[in-house]
Amino acid sequence: MYSRTGAAAYKKDITNTVKLCAFLGDPQARLKSVHIAGTNGKGSTSHMLASIFMMAGYKTGLYTSPHLKDFRERIKVDGEMIPEDNVTEFVERIRPVIREIEPSFFEITVGMAFDYFVKQQVDIAIIEVGLGGRLDSTNILTPELSIITNISWDHMDILGDSLEKIAIEKAGIIKSGVPVVVGEHNKATYYIFEKKAREEKAILTFADKKRYVGNWNFEHNLLVAEVTRSHTDEKTFYSLDLGGIYQVRNLLTVLEAVAALRQQGWDLAEPHVINGLRQVKKLTGLHGRWEIIHEHPLIILDVAHNEEGIKAVTDQLESTTYHHLLIVLGIVKDKEIDHVLNLLPKTATYFFTRAQIPRALPEDQLLNKARAAGLHGHHFPDVNTALKTAVSHADKDDLILVCGSVFVVGEVDKKSLPG
């Protein structure tokens, strides 16, 4: 499967998904949904929207990938994971079509999600694109709203070697007559979205043209953002239980998405938005986004793994108070590793490691590449050995950051932490 092995497992074709869903009675045709693509932020955006819908009283399906600990994290209804019995029953039921078309892990999982959401009679399903957009298994939906959070460098081996090519793949989720919200206006790519939206007669809005965040600060472990409407100067304060400063960009995308959904008759009142954003982690179970798991020393998990994600994390480090920085780092082979390493602070002490998947870059190779980038530390065979060693070297005022891969964060054993 792609999560473990990389590009060799990726199928640039949605034929199998179409066949599998036909076998299931085309559940996607019976779902009301919001479809979310983008290089970074699509997972956080998906969870924020799900939380708002739940707060508004809608029965809400949420499909995201990858998972951190348990496969069932990918498929949730009102924050509860799909039961194990439903997973095994589904696989047994589709055995005939598995033998016939040999679907991929992604294709089976998408079919399972759509089938489960229909059986649960959800009011809305928030569906995160797995990879790209145009040829992603999820792209057989006709949603209520399409969202593209942003465009930056990632998966160039699959999606293309320029921002324009990557944008074309993401723009592939824009459907005929379906409104689309793009989170960030980018000079290099905006025309691609405008052209596609024009062809599909889809209303297009850029979220960062509608609102901006004037100020932000932290209060009681909440990120408080002052959001101003661009044309009226009307200000509203929102508090997020997601601590990453980069979430303010996702917040703007979510607010414009809510505005578009209201126009279609969805009852998403301002109190639902405010209260939903305060409880994203509690209601949806989102983890791994600037997630504080220990204090004294401060231990933070973040799934940042590409250039833009790592840049957001390093920006946040500059706004965080600590004595010394220790970083537990593991990266998969198919990332722009040198670009990522060049963004990381050279004054930190590094504990290089690897997740236990075939895609992971061996820790000794990562160490050698890091040394060439001016980073210094030692390598360890697994994430928890690296983290335990970092803790043993840390004083109570230090900060330990675990990042570089979703899979590295997913393998952290919180039970083994001190205290």
> Average pLDDT for residues 230-243, to the nearest whole number?
94
> Average pLDDT for residues 117-126, to the nearest whole number?
98
Report which of 161, 212, 203 is spatially closest to residue 182, judged by C-alpha positions: 203
Q: What is the DSSP letter of 343?
A: H
Report which of 333, 324, 331 is spatially closest to residue 309, judged by C-alpha positions: 331
The 10s digit of each residue's pLDDT in 144-167 is 999 999 887 554 454 546 788 888
Parallel, antiparallel, or unpaired: how do β-strands 60-63 and 75-77 relate? antiparallel
Distance of CA 349 to the CA centre of its chain: 27
Residue 143 has pLDDT above 60, yes or no: yes
Provide the pLDDT for residue 35: 98
Against a cut of 0.85, is the pTM above it? yes
Q: Which residues contact 372 (CB under 8 A, 6 or more apart)?
A: none
pLDDT band with cut points at 50, 70 and 90 for residue 108: very high
Parallel, antiparallel, or unpaired: how do β-strands 291-294 and 80-81 relate? unpaired
Strand ranges of the sheet holding 349-352, from the earlier edge strand across to the other edge: 291-294, 298-301, 399-403, 325-329, 349-352, 376-379
Which contacts qualify for 260-269: CB closer than 8 Å, 24 or more apart?
260/145, 260/179, 260/181, 260/203, 260/205, 261/34, 261/144, 261/145, 263/179, 264/144, 264/145, 264/179, 266/53, 266/56, 266/58, 266/124, 266/144, 267/56, 268/52, 268/53, 268/56, 269/56
Provide the pLDDT for residue 153: 55
The 10s digit of each residue's pLDDT in 363-399 is 999 999 999 999 999 999 999 999 999 999 999 999 9
Mean pLDDT of all residues in the chain?
Answer: 92
Residue 102 has pLDDT above 50, yes or no: yes
More confident call, 104 vs 90: 90
The 10s digit of each residue's pLDDT in 13-39 is 799 999 999 999 999 999 999 999 998
Helix (H, G, I), strand (E, B) or coil at 128: strand
What span, in angstroms and rounded, lies between the C-alpha atoms of 408 and 359? 12
What's the 3-state SS for 284-331? Answer: HCCCCCCEEEECCCEEEECCCCCHHHHHHHHHHHHCCCCCCEEEEECC
Provide the pLDDT for residue 11: 56
The 10s digit of each residue's pLDDT in 183-211 is 999 888 889 999 999 999 999 999 999 99
What span, in angstroms and rounded, lies between the C-alpha atoms of 331 and 325? 19
Alpha helix stretches (DSSP H) within 69-204: 84-93, 95-101, 105-119, 156-159, 163-171, 190-200
Residue 122 has pLDDT above 50, yes or no: yes
Cβ contact 290:242 at 8 Å? yes
Q: What is the DSSP letter of 204?
A: E
Provide the pLDDT for residue 188: 83
> Average pLDDT for residues 347-363, to the nearest whole number?
95
Orientation angle between helical segments 190-200 and 163-171, nearest 10 degrees: 30
Cβ contact 303:361 at 8 Å? no
User: For the stretch 340-363, what's the b/e string if a residue is b when 16 or more beta carbons lie within 10 angstroms of its beta carbon?
Assistant: bbebbeeebbbbbbbbebebbbeb
pLDDT band with cut points at 50, 70 and 90 for residue 1: very low
Residue 4 has pLDDT above 50, yes or no: no
Percentage of the chain modeled with pLDDT above 70: 95
Mean pLDDT check: name the lowest of 53-62, 256-265, 303-312, 401-410: 303-312
Q: What is the DSSP letter of 356?
A: S
Residue 237 has pLDDT above 70, yes or no: yes
Which secondary structure element, helix H or strand E, spans residue 55, and what is its range?
A: helix 42-55
Provide the pLDDT for residue 154: 54
The 10s digit of each residue's pLDDT in 296-325 is 999 999 998 788 889 989 999 998 999 999
Q: Which residues contact 191 (CB under 8 A, 6 or more apart)?
A: none
What span, in angstroms and rounded, lies between the C-alpha atoms of 98 and 335? 31
